[in-house]
């Protein structure tokens, strides 16, 4: 059935790769340039990020430290925040089989601290990840030599299929600190003298060791689709087995590998002849290469009608040993996702022991996927003890299509040579959006991290601006979405607002200084200030229709209006052109403004901006009460709809009324109002010490405006035809209250205080019954009093140091446009610790709690963003002189004398004379 995955057995349940992170040698293509070592200094570590003291950091194996950082990068790449993974049933499987750091530290028995036992133990490679990230699934470190991490990958898939875990972190690690393991492997004659992995080449002479850390994040495919994760590749099957008895313990078994491959494909239920790429183990040894080639050619390479490419990442970055399997997985996942197969290095002539059919190729240049349809890849791995592992992958787009499923993925549908796609695809079901300004939120654990982050993004965006980017609006939307909702919010934050890549690059160079909030759960939150009548305009809210929560809220309000018997459509009215708009009429403007404000509140809350308190001006109190949790959305819409219906009859009964905003206090107008001759007008709203609103007969309001113009006092008539908050509306008091009889409050669990502009004080939710809404329509608006009460309340909360109760220090106006900002500033002008009045939600992102902006539903998570910008300013390294002498050996080895013996009071050398190293010895027999 389309849309549902059904599997016969748990072993065939598809697994999604949703996150990838890899640290590999950057110069692996040149064996003379740093060989296959990581560029990163293994001594540096962002210890404060992980709350690790310097003393403990120095005792930790740098592999464990890098695993902590790379796992975070894997979660980031999967779009998972720290809060999202905390406490989850996530398993951890890490493959590793070398332990250089432990060897260095045990040379001096006087050196260990209380942290070395946990810092050196291989079990902590996995267990420490589970501890720090609070992951509750199985956790273990796997050692099957070079197949360790692919075996770990198989065990992770098993844990997901068995229900032991809901998500899994799988990885591998290999770092080299001393010469010991290299000496052992060299003695075993399996290392390449020239430092190259020459897979299947006639001149193959061993492998070259490499360093690296790799992490993948896995979920059952059903769960990944349910959670909206971006699927990088689908795991069709995984399997492991053992060679058993072979002619030598380190000699692989072609028959065992062949049987394993067949088992994996039987589980996957697909034809191996349809696979387009095999990531071979490919160590480049004369013994191993022919045996592995035979296993691959007799299974995946058999009975083919299309080309098959076989490669190995070891030719590019060296043999990562315990991490080689996960490196192969990551390469293969990127190959099926991008549709491009990287070049194998160092190949010149095929090993004569390998018979390669014409349609099986080794990629000698960047190559396109060999055929249309599903892109399937195999990953093969084996250890020198005989432990084998095999995994079968398929690209996400084709898998979802053939299974009748919908979900997010990053598959490049039409790959092009030679450009790289960097994860931008046309396969997510997304459509380009208009180039509108976007909010880009940056955060870091430390203050300087904001600068490191901006530098990373500038480099990233500069590369995009230099490439062909026809979908710039989509890229910016996806970037805003990823930064806001798919990255963990840290204490230090900044932001940028722009609508183009060049502008964003420039903005990042001068974005606001990082600000800090020490405790986000209890940080100051904004007060929501809801605009009253008169701010409406014909196109209000249209720019926000791209946001799902906003659209859904308006649709719910529209449905409520229809249920009440409303003869017109809210959506249709908000979409009318200016000449046809009826929003000037109370019947339309009242419910439309309230519905808009409710939708805005829903959107802000969906973004993570939750108010510490609410206050409304006039009819704005309806949406404020909804936001405080005192009334339902349906009740808010009904209150506003009835208000508009009854207000629409006022002009017929009392004549046309008018309202006017005045740049003077209400007290200062008393004399002028009393002296009006054309009619009656009153102060309808006390907005601030410097501003009020007048309401009454239109002729009286016009007369007052003429007087104020002569006196050079600012005044603006509002777009209303009803004289609210004046004797004009007394005629509908009784009828309005009767109609509201069925409207009541609800049990309020949000604990968001509301400050009434009717009473000018804090009001309890149970007081917001029908009589209150009548008073809200008829009585003067004491907005200044409500604001003052809110500020005093916030100061008390701050003074009490009650961390359970947030206080407001930022005010976000919620309405069709900004109409109250000057009033807020006037009220608090002479107060201490005056709040700010930002444009939502930008300043709120840096001053208060985290903003989780969710742009258009079409937005997708970027999978190629730079990882978190770590603070690697500090070095954590402690080494005894015994270890340092052994590792660095200040005196070189001499052919005749050998190595100087450390700690000897006299010059003493130790040497083994070997004819292979010094052939001249043969000529000097005694």
Lookup: tokens for 595: 């519905």
Task: Name the active-site residue from 116, 281, 424, 728.
Answer: 281
Q: Are 782 and 759 in contact (CB under 8 A)?
A: yes
Beta strands, E only, 247-294: 277-279
Burial zone of 483 (CB within 10 Å; 0-12 exposed, 13-18 middle, 19+ buried): buried
Lookup: tokens for 360: 């099986």
Which residue, among 556, 609, 517, 528, has the nearest Cα to 853 in the 3D structure?
609
- DSSP letter string, 615-673: EESTTHHHHHHHHTTSS-HHHHHHHHHHHHHHHTTHHHHH--EEEEEESS-TGGGHHHH
- Cα–Cα distance for residue pair 57/260, rounded to 1 Å: 41
- Cα–Cα distance for residue pair 861/638, rounded to 1 Å: 39
Q: Are 329 and 391 in contact (CB under 8 A)?
A: yes
- Omega prior to 826 cis, within 30 of 0: no
Does 319 qualify as catalytic in the annotation? yes
Q: At 83, give phi and psi (nearest 5°).
A: -65, -35
Task: Name the active-site residue from 319, 390, 490, 793.
Answer: 319
Q: Are 5 and 405 in contact (CB under 8 A)?
A: yes
Task: Name the active-site residue from 36, 64, 116, 146.
Answer: 146
- Cα–Cα distance for residue pair 90/181, rounded to 1 Å: 33
Q: At 93, give phi and psi (nearest 5°).
A: -130, 120
The C-alpha angle with vertex 584 and arms to 583 and 589, in degrees rounded to 5, equals 45
As a whole number of Å, the CA-based R_g of the chain is 35
Q: Which three-class secondary structure state does DSSP give residue 41? A: coil
Pairing mode of beta strands 754-755, 899-900: unpaired
Pairing mode of beta strands 212-220, 15-23: antiparallel
Q: Are 435 and 499 in contact (CB under 8 A)?
A: yes
- Cα–Cα distance for residue pair 47/159, rounded to 1 Å: 31
Q: In what order do the strands lie in the sheet with 754-755?
A: 762-763, 754-755, 613-616, 525-530, 808-814
- Cα–Cα distance for residue pair 301/310, rounded to 1 Å: 10
The C-alpha angle with vertex 187 and arms to 183 and 189, in degrees rounded to 5, equals 120
- Cα–Cα distance for residue pair 386/250, rounded to 1 Å: 7
- Cα–Cα distance for residue pair 663/717, rounded to 1 Å: 12
- Cα–Cα distance for residue pair 335/333, rounded to 1 Å: 5
Q: At 687, give phi and psi (nearest 5°).
A: -80, -40
Taking the C-alpha atoms of 678, 682, 684 and 685 in order, what is their torsion angle to the nearest 10 degrees? 110
Lookup: tokens for 537: 């305009």
579 CB-near residues (< 8 Å, 6+ apart):
none
CB atoms within 10 A of CB 114: 10
Lookup: tokens for 891: 């005196």
- Tell me, rounded to whole angstroms, the distance of Cα 100 from its chain centroid: 35
Does 146 qualify as catalytic in the annotation? yes
Catalytic machinery residues:
146, 281, 319
């Amino acid at each position: 059935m389309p849309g549902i995955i059904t599997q016969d057995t748990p072993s065939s349940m598809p697994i999604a790769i949703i996150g990838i992170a890899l640290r590999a040698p950057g110069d692996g293509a040149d064996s003379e340039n740093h060989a296959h070592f990581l560029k990163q200094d293994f001594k540096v570590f962002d210890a404060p990020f992980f709350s690790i003291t310097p003393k403990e950091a120095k005792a930790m194996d740098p592999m464990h430290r890098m695993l902590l950082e790379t796992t975070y990068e894997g979660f980031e790449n999967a779009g998972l925040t720290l809060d999202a993974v905390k406490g989850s049933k996530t398993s951890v499987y890490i493959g590793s089989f070398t332990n250089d750091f432990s060897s260095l530290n045990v040379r001096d028995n006087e050196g260990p601290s209380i942290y070395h036992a946990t810092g050196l133990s291989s079990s902590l490679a996995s267990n420490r990840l589970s501890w720090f990230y609070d992951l509750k699934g199985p956790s273990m470190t796997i050692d099957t030599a070079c197949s360790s991490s692919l075996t770990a990958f198989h065990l992770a898939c098993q844990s997901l299929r068995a229900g032991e875990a809901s998500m899994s972190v799988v990885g591998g690690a290999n770092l080299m600190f001393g010469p010991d393991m290299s000496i052992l492997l060299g003695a075993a004659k399996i290392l390449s003298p020239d430092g190259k992995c020459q897979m299947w080449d006639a001149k193959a002479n061993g492998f070259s060791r490499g360093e690296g850390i790799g992490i993948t994040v896995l979920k059952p495919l059903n769960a990944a689709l349910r959670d909206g994760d971006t699927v990088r590749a689908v795991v069709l099957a995984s399997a492991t087995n053992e060679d058993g008895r072979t002619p030598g313990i380190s000699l692989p078994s072609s028959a065992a590998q062949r049987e394993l491959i067949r088992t994996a494909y039987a589980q996957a239920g697909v034809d191996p002849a349809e696979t387009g790429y095999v990531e071979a183990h490919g160590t480049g040894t004369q013994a191993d290469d022919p045996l592995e080639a035979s296993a691959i050619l007799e299974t995946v390479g058999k009975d083919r009608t299309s080309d098959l490419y076989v490669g190995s990442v070891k030719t590019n970055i060296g043999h990562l040993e315990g991490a080689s399997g996960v490196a192969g997985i990551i390469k293969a996942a990127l190959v099926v996702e991008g549709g491009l197969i990287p070049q194998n290095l160092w190949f010149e002539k095929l090993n004569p022991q390998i018979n390669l059919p014409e349609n099986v190729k080794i990629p000698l240049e960047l190559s396109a996927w060999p055929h249309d349809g599903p892109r399937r890849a195999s990953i093969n791995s084996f250890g020198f003890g005989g432990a084998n592992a095999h995994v079968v992958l398929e690209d996400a787009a084709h898998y979802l299509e053939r299974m009748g499923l919908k979900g997010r993925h990053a598959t490049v549908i039409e790959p092009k040579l030679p450009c790289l796609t960097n994860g931008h695809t046309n396969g997510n079901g997304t459509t380009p959006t208009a180039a509108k300004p976007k909010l880009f939120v940056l955060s870091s654990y430390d203050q300087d991290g904001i600068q490191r982050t901006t530098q990373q993004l500038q480099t990233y965006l500069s590369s995009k601006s230099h490439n062909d980017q026809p979908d710039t609006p989509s890229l910016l939307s996806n970037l805003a979405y990823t930064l806001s909702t798919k990255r963990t919010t840290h204490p230090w934050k900044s932001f940028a607002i722009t609508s183009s890549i060049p502008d964003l690059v420039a903005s990042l160079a001068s974005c606001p200084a990082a600000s800090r909030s020490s405790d986000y759960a209890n940080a100051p939150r904004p007060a929501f200030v809801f605009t009253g009548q008169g701010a409406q305009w014909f196109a209000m809210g249209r720019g926000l229709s791209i946001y799902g929560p906003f659209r859904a809220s308006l649709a719910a309000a529209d449905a409520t209006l229809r249920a009440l018997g409303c003869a017109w459509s809210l959506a249709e009215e908000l979409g009318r052109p200016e000449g046809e708009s009826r929003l000037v009429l109370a019947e339309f403007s009242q419910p439309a403004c309230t519905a808009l404000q409710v939708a805005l509140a829903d959107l802000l809350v969906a973004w993570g901006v939750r108010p510490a308190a609410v206050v409304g001006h006039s009819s704005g109190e309806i949406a404020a009460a909804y936001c405080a949790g005192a009334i339902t959305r349906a009740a808010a819409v009904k209150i506003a709809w009835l208000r508009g219906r009854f207000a629409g009859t006022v002009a017929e009964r009392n004549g046309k009324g008018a309202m006017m905003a005045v740049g003077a206090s209400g007290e200062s107008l008393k004399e002028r109002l009393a002296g009006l001759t054309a009619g009656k007008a009153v102060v309808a709203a006390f907005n601030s010490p410097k501003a009020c609103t007048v309401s009454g007969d239109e002729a009286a309001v016009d007369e007052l405006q003429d007087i104020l113009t002569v006196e050079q006092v600012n005044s603006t008539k509002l777009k209303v035809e009803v004289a609210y908050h004046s004797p004009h509306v007394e005629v509908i008091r009784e009828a309005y209250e009767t109609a509201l009889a069925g409207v009541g409050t609800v049990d309020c669990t949000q604990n968001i205080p509301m400050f009434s502009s009717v009473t000018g004080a804090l009001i309890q939710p149970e007081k917001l019954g029908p009589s209150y809404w009548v008073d809200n329509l008829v009585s003067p608006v004491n907005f200044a009093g409500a604001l003052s009460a809110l500020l005093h309340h916030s100061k008390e909360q701050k003074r009490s140091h009650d961390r359970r109760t947030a206080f407001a220090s930022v005010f976000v106006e919620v309405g069709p446009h900004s109409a109250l900002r000057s009033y807020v500033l006037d009220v608090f002008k002479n107060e201490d610790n005056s709040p700010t009045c930002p444009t939502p939600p930008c300043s709120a992102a840096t001053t208060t709690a985290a903003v989780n902006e969710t742009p258009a539903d079409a937005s997708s998570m970027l999978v190629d963003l730079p990882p978190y910008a770590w603070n690697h300013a500090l070095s954590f390294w402690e080494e005894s002189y015994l270890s340092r002498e052994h590792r660095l050996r200040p005196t070189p080895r001499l052919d005749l004398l050998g190595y100087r013996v450390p700690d000897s009071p006299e010059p003493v050398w130790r040497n083994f004379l070997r004819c292979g190293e010094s052939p001249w010895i043969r000529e000097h027999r005694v």
